[in-house]
Amino acid sequence: MKTLFGPRLAFDWKIVTVTVVSTLLLMVDAYQQLTPSKGFDRIILYLLIPLIIILVVFHESPTAFGFTFGDWKAGLILTCIAILLIAPVLWLAAHGGAMKDYYKSQVSGLPWNTFIDLFGWEFFFRGFILFAYARKFGPEALWLQAVPFALAHIGKPEVETLSTIFGGFAFGWVAYRTRSFVYPFLIHWFVASFTVLVAAGLLG
Protein backbone atom coordinates (compact mmCIF):
# COMPACT_ATOMS: atom_id res chain seq x y z
CA MET A 1 0.00 0.00 0.00
CA LYS A 2 1.39 3.39 -0.98
CA THR A 3 1.27 6.40 1.31
CA LEU A 4 2.25 10.04 0.89
CA PHE A 5 5.85 8.98 1.58
CA GLY A 6 5.86 6.02 -0.84
CA PRO A 7 5.30 2.29 -0.24
CA ARG A 8 4.58 1.31 3.34
CA LEU A 9 7.70 -0.01 5.00
CA ALA A 10 7.62 -3.27 6.92
CA PHE A 11 10.43 -4.09 9.33
CA ASP A 12 11.38 -7.17 11.33
CA TRP A 13 11.22 -5.66 14.80
CA LYS A 14 13.80 -8.06 16.23
CA ILE A 15 16.32 -7.14 13.52
CA VAL A 16 15.66 -3.47 14.20
CA THR A 17 16.09 -4.02 17.94
CA VAL A 18 19.37 -5.90 17.57
CA THR A 19 20.73 -3.33 15.08
CA VAL A 20 19.82 -0.27 17.14
CA VAL A 21 20.76 -1.74 20.52
CA SER A 22 24.09 -3.14 19.31
CA THR A 23 25.04 0.19 17.73
CA LEU A 24 24.16 2.12 20.89
CA LEU A 25 26.05 -0.33 23.11
CA LEU A 26 29.18 0.06 20.99
CA MET A 27 28.89 3.83 21.30
CA VAL A 28 28.40 3.70 25.07
CA ASP A 29 31.46 1.47 25.36
CA ALA A 30 33.48 3.99 23.33
CA TYR A 31 32.41 7.06 25.30
CA GLN A 32 31.60 5.92 28.82
CA GLN A 33 33.30 4.15 31.74
CA LEU A 34 30.58 2.44 33.79
CA THR A 35 32.77 0.56 36.28
CA PRO A 36 36.43 0.78 37.37
CA SER A 37 37.19 -2.01 34.88
CA LYS A 38 36.62 -1.81 31.13
CA GLY A 39 36.31 -5.60 31.14
CA PHE A 40 33.39 -5.47 33.57
CA ASP A 41 31.84 -2.70 31.46
CA ARG A 42 31.86 -5.09 28.53
CA ILE A 43 30.29 -7.89 30.56
CA ILE A 44 27.42 -5.51 31.31
CA LEU A 45 27.11 -4.03 27.83
CA TYR A 46 27.84 -7.04 25.66
CA LEU A 47 26.63 -9.98 27.75
CA LEU A 48 24.08 -8.98 30.40
CA ILE A 49 22.09 -6.44 28.36
CA PRO A 50 21.80 -8.69 25.27
CA LEU A 51 20.77 -11.61 27.49
CA ILE A 52 18.09 -9.46 29.13
CA ILE A 53 16.79 -8.42 25.72
CA ILE A 54 16.70 -12.04 24.53
CA LEU A 55 14.88 -13.24 27.65
CA VAL A 56 12.61 -10.31 28.52
CA VAL A 57 11.96 -8.57 25.19
CA PHE A 58 12.21 -11.44 22.69
CA HIS A 59 10.94 -14.12 25.12
CA GLU A 60 13.44 -16.58 23.69
CA SER A 61 16.12 -18.90 25.01
CA PRO A 62 19.73 -17.68 24.84
CA THR A 63 20.61 -21.03 23.25
CA ALA A 64 18.95 -19.78 20.07
CA PHE A 65 21.61 -17.06 20.02
CA GLY A 66 24.60 -19.35 20.45
CA PHE A 67 24.68 -19.35 24.26
CA THR A 68 25.35 -23.07 24.34
CA PHE A 69 28.19 -25.51 23.71
CA GLY A 70 26.53 -26.50 20.44
CA ASP A 71 28.48 -29.01 18.35
CA TRP A 72 31.28 -29.28 20.89
CA LYS A 73 33.28 -31.92 19.03
CA ALA A 74 33.54 -29.77 15.90
CA GLY A 75 34.10 -26.73 18.11
CA LEU A 76 37.11 -28.19 19.89
CA ILE A 77 38.64 -29.44 16.64
CA LEU A 78 38.20 -26.06 14.94
CA THR A 79 39.60 -24.28 18.00
CA CYS A 80 42.74 -26.42 18.01
CA ILE A 81 43.25 -26.03 14.26
CA ALA A 82 42.79 -22.26 14.47
CA ILE A 83 45.30 -21.94 17.31
CA LEU A 84 47.90 -23.97 15.44
CA LEU A 85 47.46 -21.87 12.30
CA ILE A 86 47.26 -18.49 14.01
CA ALA A 87 50.10 -18.83 16.55
CA PRO A 88 53.01 -18.44 14.06
CA VAL A 89 51.36 -15.43 12.42
CA LEU A 90 50.77 -13.79 15.78
CA TRP A 91 54.33 -14.50 16.88
CA LEU A 92 55.65 -12.59 13.87
CA ALA A 93 53.08 -9.77 14.03
CA ALA A 94 53.47 -9.13 17.76
CA HIS A 95 57.20 -8.53 17.32
CA GLY A 96 56.41 -5.62 15.01
CA GLY A 97 56.66 -2.03 16.20
CA ALA A 98 53.01 -0.95 16.42
CA MET A 99 51.68 -4.24 17.79
CA LYS A 100 54.50 -4.53 20.30
CA ASP A 101 54.13 -0.96 21.51
CA TYR A 102 50.37 -1.29 21.89
CA TYR A 103 50.25 -4.64 23.72
CA LYS A 104 53.49 -4.96 25.70
CA SER A 105 52.10 -3.10 28.73
CA GLN A 106 48.95 -5.26 29.01
CA VAL A 107 50.57 -8.36 30.49
CA SER A 108 49.36 -7.68 34.04
CA GLY A 109 46.42 -9.87 34.99
CA LEU A 110 46.73 -12.40 32.15
CA PRO A 111 44.81 -14.50 31.31
CA TRP A 112 41.93 -13.24 33.46
CA ASN A 113 41.93 -9.74 31.97
CA THR A 114 41.59 -11.00 28.42
CA PHE A 115 38.93 -13.52 29.50
CA ILE A 116 36.71 -10.92 31.13
CA ASP A 117 37.26 -8.47 28.28
CA LEU A 118 36.38 -10.90 25.50
CA PHE A 119 33.68 -13.17 26.91
CA GLY A 120 30.88 -10.64 26.54
CA TRP A 121 32.46 -9.20 23.39
CA GLU A 122 32.28 -12.56 21.61
CA PHE A 123 28.72 -13.27 22.68
CA PHE A 124 27.73 -9.82 21.43
CA PHE A 125 29.11 -10.33 17.89
CA ARG A 126 29.07 -14.12 17.48
CA GLY A 127 25.87 -14.72 19.42
CA PHE A 128 23.46 -11.81 19.76
CA ILE A 129 24.12 -10.14 16.38
CA LEU A 130 25.13 -13.17 14.29
CA PHE A 131 22.23 -15.46 15.10
CA ALA A 132 19.63 -12.69 14.97
CA TYR A 133 20.82 -11.71 11.49
CA ALA A 134 21.20 -15.32 10.35
CA ARG A 135 17.45 -15.85 10.72
CA LYS A 136 16.76 -13.06 8.27
CA PHE A 137 19.78 -13.06 6.00
CA GLY A 138 21.19 -16.58 6.26
CA PRO A 139 24.96 -16.91 5.69
CA GLU A 140 25.20 -13.22 4.75
CA ALA A 141 25.06 -12.64 8.50
CA LEU A 142 28.70 -13.75 8.66
CA TRP A 143 29.77 -10.59 6.81
CA LEU A 144 27.15 -8.35 8.41
CA GLN A 145 28.39 -9.05 11.95
CA ALA A 146 32.01 -8.67 10.85
CA VAL A 147 31.47 -5.02 9.87
CA PRO A 148 30.75 -3.55 13.34
CA PHE A 149 33.39 -5.92 14.74
CA ALA A 150 36.01 -4.42 12.41
CA LEU A 151 34.91 -0.83 13.05
CA ALA A 152 35.13 -1.43 16.81
CA HIS A 153 38.87 -2.04 16.35
CA ILE A 154 39.59 1.44 15.01
CA GLY A 155 42.27 2.93 17.25
CA LYS A 156 44.20 -0.32 17.56
CA PRO A 157 47.31 -1.02 15.43
CA GLU A 158 46.53 -0.62 11.73
CA VAL A 159 47.66 -4.08 10.69
CA GLU A 160 45.33 -5.63 13.27
CA THR A 161 42.37 -3.43 12.37
CA LEU A 162 42.71 -4.11 8.64
CA SER A 163 42.60 -7.86 9.30
CA THR A 164 39.49 -7.82 11.47
CA ILE A 165 36.91 -7.85 8.67
CA PHE A 166 38.34 -11.24 7.67
CA GLY A 167 38.98 -12.39 11.23
CA GLY A 168 35.45 -11.37 12.18
CA PHE A 169 34.10 -13.44 9.30
CA ALA A 170 36.21 -16.43 10.37
CA PHE A 171 35.09 -16.16 14.00
CA GLY A 172 31.52 -15.85 12.77
CA TRP A 173 31.86 -18.94 10.62
CA VAL A 174 33.08 -21.00 13.57
CA ALA A 175 30.08 -19.84 15.61
CA TYR A 176 27.70 -20.47 12.70
CA ARG A 177 29.13 -23.95 12.12
CA THR A 178 29.01 -24.98 15.78
CA ARG A 179 25.89 -22.99 16.74
CA SER A 180 27.89 -21.56 19.63
CA PHE A 181 29.87 -18.43 20.48
CA VAL A 182 32.09 -20.43 22.87
CA TYR A 183 34.64 -21.60 20.30
CA PRO A 184 35.33 -18.23 18.64
CA PHE A 185 35.65 -16.91 22.18
CA LEU A 186 38.29 -19.53 23.02
CA ILE A 187 40.18 -18.72 19.81
CA HIS A 188 39.97 -14.98 20.43
CA TRP A 189 41.03 -15.44 24.05
CA PHE A 190 44.12 -17.30 22.86
CA VAL A 191 44.83 -14.64 20.21
CA ALA A 192 44.66 -11.78 22.71
CA SER A 193 46.66 -13.50 25.46
CA PHE A 194 49.32 -14.89 23.12
CA THR A 195 49.76 -11.50 21.41
CA VAL A 196 50.32 -9.75 24.75
CA LEU A 197 52.81 -12.39 25.92
CA VAL A 198 54.84 -12.13 22.70
CA ALA A 199 54.71 -8.32 22.67
CA ALA A 200 55.93 -8.26 26.27
CA GLY A 201 58.88 -10.48 25.35
CA LEU A 202 57.76 -13.39 27.51
CA LEU A 203 57.64 -15.87 24.62
CA GLY A 204 60.84 -15.00 22.85
What pLDDT is attached to residue 4? 67
Rounded Cα distance, 25 and 93, in Å = 30
Q: Identify the CA nearest to 164 among candidates 182, 178, 145.
A: 145
pLDDT of residue 184: 98
Q: Tell me, yes or no, whether 30 lies in a domain.
A: yes
User: 4 in a domain, yes or no?
Assistant: no
- Flag whether 86 is in a domain: yes
With respect to residue 7, please indicate whether it lies within any of the assigned structural domains.
Answer: no
* Amino acid (1-letter code) at residue 166: F
How far, in Å, CA of 81 to CA of 95, rounded? 23
pLDDT number for residue 121:
97
Residue 1 forms part of a structural domain? no
In a domain, 154, yes or no: yes
Is the confidence at residue 179, as pLDDT, over 70? yes
Residue of 195, 184, 204, 168 whose CA lies nearest to 90: 195
Q: What residues contact 97, with CB distance under 8 A and at least 6 apart?
A: none
User: Nearest Cα to 68, choosing from 181, 192, 198, 186?
Assistant: 181
List, for residues 120-149, the tens digit of each pLDDT value: 999 999 999 999 999 999 999 999 999 999
Q: What is the pTM of this model?
A: 0.94
Helix axes 72-93, 158-178, angle to 10 degrees: 170
The Cα 48–Cα 124 span in angstroms is: 10
In a domain, 72, yes or no: yes
- Whether residue 3 lies inside any domain: the answer is no
Average pLDDT taken over every residue of the chain: 94
3-state secondary structure of 6: strand
List all residues 6 or more positions away from 19 whose beta carbon is below 8 Å from its beta carbon.
none
- Dump pLDDT digits (tens) for 53-67: 999 999 999 999 999
Q: Which residue range forms the structural domain that includes residue 81?
A: 12-199
Number of domain units in the chain: 1
Residue type, 50: P
